[in-house]
Each structure stands twice: as structure tokens, then as C-alpha cells.
Structure 1
């Protein structure tokens, strides 16, 4: 009974088997309050099932339900963050036959990558130069900053190139 972490006094072997690995895995995540143990019960040494008229106790939480909620929250966080998505999106805007404008925008939710815009811009400029069969490029302008949009700020970098043929 101690390993299952349940707030019930006695469990049958079928109940223990039904909870299974979910109970053992979630035992580390649970606190006394989630098991229905109040401060009054902890002080007197009684469990969550011993309810007195003066101290109400909370209902025990199903460990399987708790794991489902945590899994759902993790799935929502993964969908919002998406760690496999690239940090920067690059847009190539031709202004004339020899002049190209590169616009880099960083995704809103990211961990790190704040100082890499110049290196990514250089790689993108080199790639555009190779794709258009130019010998090299000449940097006409470059600007980077942070656009304060709501709910999240977004880094950007903008540069203009003249392709040398």
C-alpha cells in the first residue's frame, strides 16, 4: 500500500494491478495535499480517510487521471513550442535584378539563439549568391532589432545585398 501512494486504507490486488506503472511513476510528483492529507490529519497521525466533523478532507486524486492531465499539458506545451521548428524564417525579396533584400524573423517562443542573426544572414546571403550564379555580393545595408509585439516580442534582421556578376 505504501508504494502505490493511494489514499485508501486497503487495496485489493486487482486495484493495485489496475493502477500499475502509472501509480509508481507519479508517486514522486504527488504532494501531501494531492493525496488528501490535511495538516490536521498529518499532525494527529491519521490518514486521509479518517474524517472528523471539524476538519473536512479533500477527495483523493486518481493517479491515472493526474498523469493524463500532465500528459495533456505536455502535449499542449510541445505544440506551442515545437522544438523541431527552425528558429529563423528567411524571406528573399528581389528589389531589382542585382539587388536582393533578406528579411529574417526569429520565432516568438525560443530558448537561445539571440546572437546568431548575423551568421544566419551571412549564410543566407551566400546561398542566394550561389543560387543566382553571382560571383559575390556587396552588403548595402544591415539592421537587426526586436519588434515589441504582443504577446511576445520577436527578433528580426533585415539586409540588402547587391549581387556582383
Structure 2
């Protein structure tokens, strides 16, 4: 139905057994925001490290996303510190359901991933979660509630974009 190439490559140093990650050594980043029509609604696509870039999620919402995927293999260190708050924040700020599949466990490399797969609703509530191990998570999508959340708090209408010039201090005359 659609193809998504990860926009943000994980080129970081982490205080874990592996220490250094450089996805750009093996992969090129993508260049397009992707939203696909599915039987359950318009699905925005993202992957793992993309979760740290709210502007991507804003673009997915602007492109019509109602649900957003975020399959990930967050490291045990970064996942413990940031996974839950990032997944919930992206759901809240986009008012979309976040479908966050998450690899967890120990892998060759050596690499350890956090896990904690979740489905988060547009209000930021975790409606299904699996900390570790294999699972299939299911949740009902309440389109009426999603529309109500979007109507009561119309963040899309309130969003303002600023150029770098707008961020500079205003000149005052004395």
C-alpha cells in the first residue's frame, strides 16, 4: 500500500554495551512524509528515531493522518529514559492514535532494546501495552472521541510557524 524510508538516522553515542550507533554508515535517509489510506483510517508512517522529531509528526497530521505507526528498537538506555514520554507526546500533539511496536531483549552486536510496545489514544492514554515478550496488542479506535478531542482543542487551527527572523528580539525605540 505504501513505502516509507526512515527520515532520521540514528547516529548517536549511548552509554550502553555497544556505545556507538551509526545508521548512516549503512543506510541513506528517506525524503518523504508518507500517509496511507487503510481500512481503519489514514495511517502515517514513521520508524524508531523519527519519534524524536515532532515536526515529522506535525507533517503527518497535516497530511491527514488519524493513526501513526512508530515501530522501534529503542536501546534499553534511551528507551527507559524517553520511550513512554515520546510516544505519548506524539499522540497528544497530533491528536492521533500512536501504534508503537517495540523490539525488546538482547541481540547480537551487543545490543539491548527496551521493548514496551503500546497503543496510545489521541488524549495520550495508553490503551494497550506489552512491556516484554511477543504479543499482539488490540484496541478499539473511537473516531467520535477523536473528532471530539480535535474539535474541543483545535491545535491545528492554533499552530503558528515562525521564521528565524520572528525569533529575534524585537527592536524598540527609546
| Fold shared per TM-score above 0.5 | no
Give me the TM-score of the superposition, normalised by structure 1.
Answer: 0.28
Give me the TM-score of the superposition, normalised by structure 2.
Answer: 0.27
* Structure number, greater radius of gyration: 1
